[in-house]
Structure 1
Amino acid sequence: MRGTRAFLCAGVAALAANTGAWAQQAPDAAGPAAASAASDVLDEIIVTAQKRTERLIDVPQSVSAVSAEALQQAHAERLDDYFTRVPSAALVETQAGQARLILRGVNTGGVGATVATYVDETPYGSATSLANGAILTPDLDPSDLERVEVLRGPQGTLYGANSLGGLIKYVTVAPSTDGVHTAAEVSTETVAHGDTGWSGRASVNVPLADSLAVRASGFYRRDPGFIDDQRGKDINDGRTYGGRVSALFRPTDALTLRGSVVVQNLDSNGTNQVDVDPMTLRPALGDYRQARVVAQPNDMRYRVYNLTGTYDFGPVQLLSSTSYSTLFQDALVDVSGLYGDLLTGAFGVPLGASQVQRVQQRRFTEEMRLASTDGGRLDWTVGGFYTRERNAIMQLINGVDNLSGAPIADFANLADARLNSRYEEYAGFASGTLHITDQIDLTVGGRYSHNEQDAVQLGSGPLAGDANYTASSSDGVFTYSVAPSFKPNEDTTLYVRVARGYRPGGPNVLPPTAPGAVPRQFGADTTTNYEIGVKSEAWGRRLSLELTGFYIDWNNIQLFSSVDGYGVNVNGGSARSRGIEASVTVKPMSGLTVSLNGALVDATLTSDAPPLVGGLKGDRLPYSARYSSTLAVEYQRPLSGAVDGFAGVSWRYTGDRLSAFDTSYGQHHLSAYSQVDAHAGITMGPYRIEAFVRNLTDSRGILDVGTAGSALDGNVTAAIVRPRSFGATLGFRY
């Protein structure tokens, strides 16, 4: 069945306790003077990047931790509110629920993710390249998070598949038995060129006994639209709602059980795209406007269920994490630009075209780890991992009236393509840190992963033909990491790291009659990262610095292409990414914090991609900015005995980029842009009142450019940043 896979991939083109945003504002038990002194130094950051609790400064790799306080200051509600503040990170989003994460430039498009996602101990999203995992990145509401950890560079040793570019890890707030805690807030926000939205959040922590506590949180957010259709109506509004319930049970000092359920629904009514001229990228229909034959809703459903148990044997601790997660997408896409003229010519009737797209991801995982806890000469972790996925993609193309978008019964089911797949993986891993001297450590890890996959492709209709094909594959990959480090003092770490990451291969589902040149299977692609870095705290812990240099070799790159008329995943070409990342945070005076980070990234192909992909040796990798930086200033001071004031401003700069490889127009040059955000408010005991503005200068940066046929009348789509918005928040925490 020639070309059916093209339909199937057409949619692809932050520790337990109630710490958080206001924890530093609570009175210190030692008195006001001690509390004031504590506020003059930087917080000590604790992370779990190496699957054990440790200070960020001691981790011999490049990790950014976005705290709950930072999330609050940024008024973070979506991925783009905080992910793009991380050095060398980029996000390409066309619609709420459809986003691609990029770290250190590791991206060539395609259908498999290059950045893995974890929710506490649960890997979330698909590991296979057969379920659109690259663009269905979970956008979880951060309202009840302890922090977000972003691990840059390959993380294959401890985190496995799809972490060849890095990892984003959501660390949720755990239940606590120390007392009842409640929090709530309401916000409203008005977007320029659009309408008004609002949100509400609440959480409660209740100890039911000395050994049992439950925490629950919920949220509802109505997102305002700012993209107009032909009638001048905002069409990209939406709503996001859900919550989390978690219980912690500690029947003995040695045994701890924690169960959690995360539920989130995301309903978007349209894309964040405008129609632009394919050569100049200037708006073709006016600012913030698009023309579509059919509406383009996108509904996402996230579910994460986890039970984690730990047992402390004394010198070692055993951990078991059992998870089940699902991701469902139900979307409608206007494909009139691709198929409208074709259908009109074939049937002699003016027609547009709509594509129904449904994706289902179901994933079970089990991980067991045994780790040393005695703090001896060797800290070690050994474990095993198992995951099983069942995924399905369904795409249905219908002919519609090219003016009204109304379905036409005679032209329904012109193409019905379905791909069902199963992914199963077994892995074993080990990691250890040898403390050679008081100042010199050597961290070494390795992981072997083996996966088996089966897929069935079904098709019917005049545009797809009849099909019932099967395929299977299996492969294994060994990944490793080696990181010697030197600590000249307790507050400085210098390290060198070499690490490898991978993305699994898989089968191409093809008819028996497909030519021999069409690959029946595609292999894993791998990245090898060479990194040198320094982390330091100075000036009585009022200054922190991190500087990293890296070089990444990317081999056997997975690409989606067409071979002899068949849409397949192929391996082709190689690339490299090299750069420098820097982060500095300083408290020069009481109440004032200044943070600056930036990255210089040079990511290019080192060999030609397949001709139908369009990339040539020396071409820059898509959507990787050479320069990016963030500057944030935050100031707090008492206004009276009962009132504290605070204010802050941040500036984000995203340098020029190139769009995806495109054989029709080549890579488009996307101009650099900046965003300025600001906020100010007061706290009165447990209450907080705040006003904020996002994108103060009303920057119109382009995030993504579509390919030929992505819009009507020869235009192409361009996803843009949200325009200027103003809002206010009223919050309470007890």
Structure 2
Amino acid sequence: MGFYQDIDNDGSSGQGNVTGTTRPLYGKYKFGSVEGTGGSEIKYRSVGGTVSYETDAGAIVAVANYVKTQSAISSDYTDIYGSYLSLIGIVPPGTQTIGDLGPNMKKFSAELRFVSERIGAFEFVAGGFYTNEKSRYPFTITARNAAGTPLPAPFDILFRSTSFAKYEEYAAFGNLTFYLTDRLDVTGGIRYAKNDQNSSGPGGILFYSPTPPSSTSFDDDATTYLATIRFRPTDNVSLYARAASGYRPGGPQTSTLLPPTAQTVIRADTVWNYEAGIKATALDGALSANLAVYHIDWKDIQLNTLFGGVTLQGNAGSAKVDGFELELQARPSQNFVFGANVGHTHARISEIDPVAAASLGAKSGDKLPLTPSWTVAAFADQKIPFSDRVKGSVGATIRLQSDMPSSYPGYALNPNIKIPSITTVDLRAGLEMSPVSLQLRVENLFDKLGYTSLATNALYVGQPVPTNATVTRPRAFILSATANF
């Protein structure tokens, strides 16, 4: 299986807002940028495949995938850096600061696993995983005059950095399920992973000052666990409880522009997820319900933090997350189905590193940014059989998301803004004439302006920079066609 995609954007998917507010500065879905900036070109290529071999004892499954991405992104940093440099008299007023970055990545991953048939009271899964990832990240911010000509050296290059990173991981895993009875089973699992990393780069420029070449090697390992118990009191009801751990690898800073206060090595962040739930059906599957409640302990959270005008990763502390998810679905007839999903999340900081607290303005008990407390969705779909070969369909979905914080309450450089709740409606209609299917969708029918994030990237408190808003997709009409062979 292969995938080939080229994306060419003339502008940003964001919006410029009045500083520290939800009000558009230039108009709905508009942003301010020097002509010729704000766009991007992205090339994505992937190829992969799965091979399986069945035996009496189970199946051997091999999966491999190769991905290559190349990007060219141009951004206008004049409001942030140009205005600041002219304010302190380093460059003339009206100086533009334009950023060009071109991240690219190559990744190969493979997994081999054996999935057993049930052997008496047992069944198991065992296997191994491998990944090799290489990336290159060039980044330059150039100071230009109003005509777009670079300033004379040495004032032409404000930032320059090229970082090279390599990540290689080997892992082995296994799960074992024991059926105490036909209705009660327990599963235990373990995964061991080891990774080797390297980050390097030639000398660069940081605020007109040279930085030395860098090269850092790093290795780490992690063991994660899984435990599940499942009970089926009837054929239509299943109860379960699960505890699982996970981690996100740490490693050296990949940027070569490291201010003295920056964290040079990022620790892996880890989670323990505890979940319990019930799944039930009734009336021969015409009604179904799934309910899950969960608690997450998250330690050594990896967050982006501003160090001396440069955004870098760092470990910020710990968090706790509690919540539930409820899914309901009804199928009163063969051709009509409707349902609803409800989710609630209470995510907050439980511990905070003093350095991160000073930088982010966060304290224990603060809500995690960009995490809505409530999400609700409801849908309905009706099939319309015109003949044995031709079938139509119509449907609608409504989605609601509660308000959420954009940042931490005490973050002076990026003040917290309450991101408003948003409600959107989608419609769809389709026609199936085997083997061809057509569907017309209208997403965000009422063209509601919603925000998924708000960020004020100021260098100093009170800097009058626009707040960058990531917006929900405006009303879109989408026609798709598929064919099965």
- Name 2:227's counterpart in structure 1: 482
By how many angstroms is 1:727 displaced? 5.2
1:465 aligns with 2:206: no
Is structure 2 residue 368 aligned with structure 1 residue 617?
A: no
The size of the alignment, in residue pairs, is: 471
Residue pair 1:278, 1:665 contacting (<8 A) in 2 also: no
How far did residue 725 of structure 1 move? 3.4
Residue 514 of structure 1 deviates from its aligned partner by: 8.2
Partner of 2:412: 663
Which residue, out of 722, 725, 734, partners 2:473? 722
Deviates more, 1:453-462 or 1:297-306: 453-462
Cα drift, residue 289 of structure 1: 2.2
1:626 aligns with 2:373: yes
Would you say 1:377 and 2:117 are equivalent positions? no
Distance in 1, Cα, partners of 2:466 & 2:310: 26
Query: Counterparts in 2 of 1:130-141, with a 5 A limit?
Result: none
Indicate whether 1:284 and 2:25 are aligned.
yes
**Which of 565, 570, 580 lines up with 2:314 in the alignment?**
570
Would you say 1:705 and 2:450 are equivalent positions?
no
Task: Determine if contact 2:167/2:197 at 8 Å carries over to the other structure.
Answer: yes
Match of 1:592 in 2: 336
Kept in 2: contact 1:553–1:576 (CA 8 A): yes
Find the counterpart in structure 2 of residue 306 from structure 1: 48
What letter is aligned with 1:707?
A: T
Q: 1:339 to 1:314 in 2, by over 3 A?
A: same
The correspondence for 1:293, drawn from 18, 34, 56, is 34
- Note the C-alpha offset of 1:477: 1.1
Contact preservation (8 Å) 1:509, 1:520? no
Whether 2:250 is the aligned partner of 1:499: answer no
Where does residue 442 of structure 2 map in the other structure? 693
Q: Which amino acid aligns with 1:699?
A: K
Q: Which has the higher contact order (CA 8 A, sep 6+)?
A: 1
Aligned Cα RMSD in Å? 2.8
Counterpart Cα distance in 2 of 1:546 and 1:566: 45
Distance 2:365 2:19 in 1: 23
1:652 aligns with 2:399: yes
Distance in 2 of aligned mates of 1:433 and 1:568: 43
Relative distance call for 1:278 and 1:395 in structure 2 (3 A) is same
Give the aligned residue type for 1:501.
G
Q: What is the TM-score with the length of structure 2 in the denominator?
A: 0.89
Whether 1:326 aligns to 2:68 is yes
Contact 2:259 2:307 in 1 (8 A): no
Question: What is the match of residue 528 of structure 1?
Answer: 272
- 1:66-81 alignment runs, 5 A limit: none
CA distance in 1, matches of 2:435, 2:61: 37
CA distance in 1, matches of 2:29, 2:160: 33
Residues 576 and 604 in structure 1, CA contact (< 8 A), matched pair in contact too: yes
Give the Cα–Cα distance (whole angstroms) in 2 for the partners of residues 702 and 682 of structure 1.
33
User: Which residue in the other structure is 2:382 paired with?
Assistant: 635
What residue in structure 1 maps to residue 291 of structure 2? 547
Q: Which letter does structure 2 place at the counterpart of 1:693? A: V
Q: Which residue of 2 aligns with 1:676?
A: 425
Asked whether the equivalents of residues 165 and 254 of structure 2 are also in contact (C-alpha less than 8 Å), the reply is no
- Measured against aligned partners, the alpha-carbon deviations of 1:639-683 in whole angstroms (never above 9, x if no partner) come to 467654421111011111111344324321011011001123544
- In the alignment, the residues of structure 2 paired with residue 388 and residue 685 of structure 1 have an alpha-carbon distance, to the nearest angstrom, of 42
Change (3 A) 1:376 1:262: farther
SS of 1:414's equivalent in the other structure is strand
- Give deviations 1:188-246, integer Å, cap 9, x for gaps: xxxxxxxxxxxxxxxxxxxxxxxxxxxxxxxxxxxxxxxxxxxxxxxxxxxxxxxxxxx
Q: Which amino acid aligns with 1:315?
A: A
Q: Which of 539, 552, 558 does residue 302 from structure 2 map onto? A: 558
Q: 1:333 and 1:538 mapped to 2: Cα distance?
A: 55
Q: Is the 8 A contact 1:460 1:466 kept in 2?
A: yes
Q: What is the CA deviation profile of residues 128-157 of structure 1, one whole-angstrom value per residue up to 9, with x for unaligned ones? A: xxxxxxxxxxxxxxxxxxxxxxxxxxxxxx
Deviation at 1:707, TM superposition (A): 1.9
Paired with 1:451 and 1:692, the residues of 2 have a C-alpha distance of 44
Change (3 A) 1:519 1:694: closer
8 A Cα contact 2:157 2:208, kept in partner: no
Answer yes or no: is the 8 Å Cα contact 1:599–1:628 preserved in 2.
yes
Q: 1:298 and 1:327 mapped to 2: Cα distance?
A: 13
* 1:65 counterpart residue number: none
The answer as to whether partners of 1:554 and 1:575 remain within 8 angstroms in 2 is yes
SS of the counterpart of 2:81? helix
Larger mean CA deviation between 343-352 and 289-298 belongs to 343-352
Per-residue deviation, 1:562? 5.5
Q: Please state whether the residue corresponding to 2:362 is helix, strand or coil.
A: coil
Contact 2:19 2:464 in 1 (8 A): no
Residues 129-278 of structure 1: pairs in structure 2 closer than 5 A: 260-278=1-19
Give the match's secondary structure for 2:15. strand
Structure 2: which 5+ residue stretches go unaligned?
Answer: none
Residue by residue over 1:251-285, the C-alpha shift from the partner in whole angstroms, topping out at 9 and shown as x without a partner, is xxxxxxxxx32222222221122221123321122
Which of 185, 200, 207 is the matching residue for 1:441? 185
3-state SS in 1 of match to 2:210: coil
Matches within 5 A, 1:342-353: 342-344=84-86, 345-348=89-92, 350-353=94-97
Matches of 1:518 and 1:681, distance apart in 2: 54
Q: 1:324 to 1:729 in 2, by over 3 A?
A: closer
The one-letter code of the counterpart of 1:570 is G
The residue number in structure 2 matching 1:317 is 59
Provide the rounded CA distance (Å) in 2 between the counterparts of 1:448 and 1:298: 39
> 1:283-321: CA deviations, max 9, x gaps?
122223221114211222222222433333321332333
Distance 1:726-1:503 versus aligned 2 partners, 3 A rule: closer
Contact 2:20/2:415 (8 A) holds in 1:
no
Percent of residue pairs bearing the same amino acid type: 27
Matched AA of 1:303: R
Name 1:338's counterpart in structure 2: 80
